């Protein structure tokens, strides 16, 4: 595994925040450049973040997981953080191939323990569907999977979340948020978190910096613009008899999806375990990292 000297402003800004023993890696895979941080030694644990975050959402648990005897890999998804903003390829199957090729390039060819939050969880679901023999254990944290629950919660007419439709709209959210990133994110994290203190001003500054890179807003919203296609792909697989053969842990924040995620997956995840993190909203890795780690440790082992 060869680390690189930071090449982008984003990489340079976060280099000093890497946990001890972790390094940054940029690899060309699946037709794009993917940035990740990696550390530790042992069987691989892969952590996939959500929007509007990057690998940094896992910063509180990277070193503890490595200390448990794992090689920990936390990529920036296509179009986010230090990864390139590709023109296309934001469907979750293509991003699963990004991750698969990244792991191959790092020499991590055995089954992995895969943890995905929010959009990262959608990518993790696709990875487990496409490469079932390569996933030892799957953790999905606070999301609704396209085709299995997402469509129900994205409809504001029935009490669902408004932002899915807005973020899916071509060009409009970029026009609205350009120059207003900090104001929006300050409001957003307060709304979606049960503990606003989980996002102090300095952390919001780092996230804002990652979104002010050229094309970064588009790179983030492109993840949403494929979700209906992602749902159709997942449903076609399930309707054809597909099931997740590995143990699955469905984690929800008490003040967010709660047990909804596990219930929505019962048809395609016969070995699913439910965990609800008390006093947490959507951003569990930031709000309740100790509780999340305590939940992950026995399941991953």
CA dist 71 and 106 (Å) reads 11
Residue 282 annotated among the catalytic residues of the structure: yes
Q: Which two tokens mark 85?
A: 């903003």
CA dist 128 and 11 (Å) reads 29
Between 201-211 and 216-225, two packed helices, what is the crossing angle to 10 degrees?
90
DSSP code, position 252? E
Q: What is the largest CA-CA distance in the chain?
A: 50
Residue 223 annotated among the catalytic residues of the structure: no
Residue 161 annotated among the catalytic residues of the structure: no
Q: Are strands 272-277 and 22-29 parallel, antiparallel or unpaired?
A: unpaired
Which of 70, 90, 148, 224 is flagged as catalytic?
224
CA dist 141 and 276 (Å) reads 10
Which of 100, 117, 223, 282 is flagged as catalytic?
282
Chain centre distance of CA 225: 16
Closest CA to 194 of 295, 280, 92: 280
Residue 16 CB-density burial (10 A; 0-12 exposed, 13-18 middle, 19+ buried): exposed
* Residue 98: its H or E element: helix 92-105
Asked if 138 and 244 count as a contact pair (C-beta separation under 8 A), the reply is yes
Closest CA to 30 of 85, 73, 94: 94
Which of 118, 142, 230, 286 is flagged as catalytic?
118
Give the residue numbers annotated as catalytic, written as ranges: 118, 224, 282
């Amino acid at each position: 595994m060869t680390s690189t000297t930071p090449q982008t402003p984003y990489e340079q800004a976060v280099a000093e925040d890497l946990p001890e023993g972790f390094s940054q890696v940029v690899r060309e895979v699946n037709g794009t450049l993917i940035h990740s941080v990696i550390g530790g030694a042992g069987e691989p644990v892969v952590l996939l973040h959500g929007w509007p975050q990057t690998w940094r959402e896992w910063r509180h648990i990277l070193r503890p997981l490595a200390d448990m005897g794992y090689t920990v890999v936390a990529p920036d998804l296509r179009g986010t953080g230090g990864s390139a903003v590709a023109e296309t390829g934001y469907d979750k199957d293509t991003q699963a191939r990004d991750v698969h090729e990244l792991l191959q390039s790092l020499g991590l060819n055995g089954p992995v323990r895969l943890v995905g939050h929010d959009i990262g969880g959608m990518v993790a679901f696709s990875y487990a569907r496409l490469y079932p023999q390569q996933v030892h254990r799957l953790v999905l944290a606070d999301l609704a999977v396209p085709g299995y629950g997402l469509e129900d919660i994205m409809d504001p007419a029935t009490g669902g979340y408004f932002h899915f439709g807005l973020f899916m709209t071509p060009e409009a959210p970029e026009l609205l948020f350009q120059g207003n990133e900090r104001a929006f994110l300050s409001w957003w994290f307060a709304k979606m978190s049960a503990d606003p203190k989980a996002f102090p001003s300095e952390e919001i500054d780092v996230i804002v910096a990652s979104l002010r890179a050229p094309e970064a807003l588009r790179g983030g919203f492109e993840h949403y613009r494929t979700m209906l296609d992602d749902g159709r792909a997942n449903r076609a697989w399930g309707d054809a008899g597909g099931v997740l053969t590995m143990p699955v842990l469905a984690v929800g924040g008490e003040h967010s999806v709660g047990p909804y995620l596990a219930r929505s997956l019962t048809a395609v995840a016969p070995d699913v375990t439910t965990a609800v993190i008390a006093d947490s909203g959507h951003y569990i890795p930031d709000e309740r990292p100790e509780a999340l780690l305590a939940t992950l440790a026995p399941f991953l082992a």
